[in-house]
Amino acid sequence: MYHTVAEKILLKHAPGMKELAPGQFIECRIDLIMVHEQLGGRIHVEYEKLGLDRVWDPEKIFFILDHWIPAPTINAAQMHQDCREFAKKYNFIHDMGINKGICHQVLPEMGFARPGMLIVGSDSHTTTYGAFNCLSTGIGATDVSVVFATGNLWFKVPESFKISLSGELSKGVMSKDLVLKLIGDLTTKGAIYKSLEFHGADCLSIDSRMTVSNMVVEAGAKFGVFLPDKTLEKWLEHRTKEPYQIVMPDKEAIYEKTMEYDLSELEPVVAKPSSPGNLDSIKNVEGIEIDQAFLGSCTNGRMEDLQIAAKILKGKTVNPKTRLIITPASQEIYEQALNKGLIEIFIKAGAVFTHSTCGACIGGHLGVLGEEETCVSSTNRNFVGRMGAPSSKVYLASPATVAASALHGKITDPREVL
């Protein structure tokens, strides 16, 4: 048979299997599992029910605290304590602590996401690592416990959608616009348990690919995987010395659906409240007044995101009626922004620049929305109450749109200020 990328990687990780097909249930070996605060939430409770005094492989567990950093409440502090005690008890090797950044940025930065791997994590946006030609997906607490105990997990072999990209993004248009357009086209239920396989992404940076793979889960996808190319190989050169094997689909592979996007034809878009699939053109929402603009998260807190924002904000001032909060996705990015003078640009423009944490994205701290407030955000979800008060409204947009909107105090097409 001929196979897609997802089918090839799953087959490679299914001991004793010589063939598989979409819809089939299989058991796979896991290469790496990522856990964060959920370890101190439900996971440690579920695992301790098993009565085990070990985990299957402490070397294959990536542990980091990132959602509430530093702990803003007593409950968060207790959760962190439970996490640390569990990690110590079971001798976790890769304990990243609280000062590295957001899990989905830090894990690839440290070279843990490589082509051909099968990675799971206690967070739905674990799909991010598909940017590195591996399969990755989020799982729940009981499944994490199974992996901790055995190193294995069941999967249903997914059907694959082929997403063919061509052309290049125009000025003021970013990969966030691409993935929002994709989710809008598919709907939030249009890719449930599918693997979205991206072809022709050579002109997209690794930062841009991570944004796309991060958000495929908002269409219900199980995986979002990019084909390998020289851009990826060059990125990996500086991140890992570990061996890896790139995975390409067979030319004769069968896809359930094929979708084509000419990047040069895309325009800025937004997802209106309260769904990532509630797509609209920027021109239809321009002028909506905002109380807050947020740039950051595991979706859009990377260097290219900060750089486009700095280009827009340099020498200008944030609208006095609007709060602009900027949160880098990792400490490494924070340091790069500092060295390149970006933080100075943001501060002089009137923005608040924070340490790296999920914070405002999850309505945790450092930017919680009040009653009836409106925010334009570069995050991945705009559900009711996601970033604060249930009556608040969140519009999802690209970092360029967020920065442009902060200047004017209302949703603004970034092409007007670039």
Per-residue pLDDT of the chain (418 residues; tens, 9 = 90+): 899 999 999 999 999 999 999 999 999 999 999 999 999 999 999 999 999 999 999 999 999 999 999 999 999 999 999 999 999 999 999 999 999 999 999 999 999 999 999 999 999 999 999 999 999 999 999 999 999 999 999 999 999 999 999 999 999 999 999 999 999 999 999 999 999 999 999 999 999 999 999 999 999 999 999 999 999 999 999 999 999 999 999 999 999 999 999 999 999 999 999 999 999 999 999 999 999 999 999 999 999 999 999 999 999 999 999 999 999 999 999 999 999 999 999 999 999 999 999 999 999 999 999 999 999 999 999 999 999 999 999 999 999 999 999 999 999 999 999 9
pLDDT for the residue numbered 168 = 97
Residue that is written with structure tokens 């260097």 in the block: 303
Per CATH, 5-263 and 268-416 having the same topology is answered: yes
Distance CA 224, CA 127 (A): 6
The answer to whether 20 and 14 are in contact (CB under 8 A) is: yes
**Whole-number pLDDT of residue 31:** 98
Residues contacting 235, CB < 8 A, separation 6+: 206
Residue 16's region, left for phi above 0, alpha for psi from -120 to 50, else beta, is left
Strand order in the sheet with 323-326: 279-281, 269-271, 393-396, 374-377, 292-295, 323-326, 352-353
Residue 249, classified by CB atoms within 10 Å of its CB into exposed (0-12), middle (13-18) or buried (19+), is: buried
pLDDT given at position 137:
98
Phi/psi region, residue 331 (left: phi>0; alpha: psi -120 to 50; beta: rest), is alpha
Structure tokens at 27: 């058991």
In whole angstroms, what separates CA 198 from the centre of its chain?
16
CB atoms within 10 A of CB 53: 7
CATH of 5-263, one of 3.30.499.10, 3.40.630.30, 3.40.50.300, 3.40.50.1000: 3.30.499.10
Q: Which CATH architecture fits 268-416?
A: 2-Layer Sandwich (3.30)
Which sequence spans correspond to the domains of the chain? Answer: 5-263, 268-416
For residue 249 the two structure tokens come to 């689909």
CA angle 162, 164, 169 (to 5 degrees): 145
How many CA atoms does the CB half-sphere of 247 hold within 13 Å? 26
pLDDT of residue 331: 98
SS3 86: helix
* CB contact at 8 A, 11 and 4: no
pLDDT score recorded for residue 94: 97
Among 226, 222, 221, which Cα is nearest to 204's?
A: 226
Can you tell me the distance from the alpha carbon of 142 to that of 97, in angstroms, rounded to the nearest whole number?
A: 23
Q: Which residues contact 92 (CB under 8 A, 6 or more apart)?
A: 55, 58, 61, 63
Backbone torsions φ then ψ of 244, nearest 5 degrees: -155, 165
Q: In 3D, which of 144, 106, 120, 162 has the Cα closest to residue 10?
A: 120
The token pair that represents 14 in the structure block:
């299914």
Tokens of 170: 């125009």
Helical residues (DSSP H) of 96-162, grouped into ranges: 103-109, 141-150
Question: Which DSSP state fits 367?
Answer: S
Distance CA 337, CA 159 (A): 40
pLDDT for residue 55: 97
At 50-93, the pLDDT tens digits run 999 999 999 999 999 999 999 999 999 999 999 999 999 999 99
Cα dihedral 50→54→57→62 (10° resolution): 80
Residue pair 297/382 in contact (Cβ under 8 Å)? The answer is no
Work out whether the CA dihedral 28, 107, 222, 244 comes out positive or negative. Answer: negative
Q: Which residue has the tokens 């958000």?
A: 215
Alpha-carbon distance 394 to 388, whole Å?
10
CA distance 305 to 300: 6
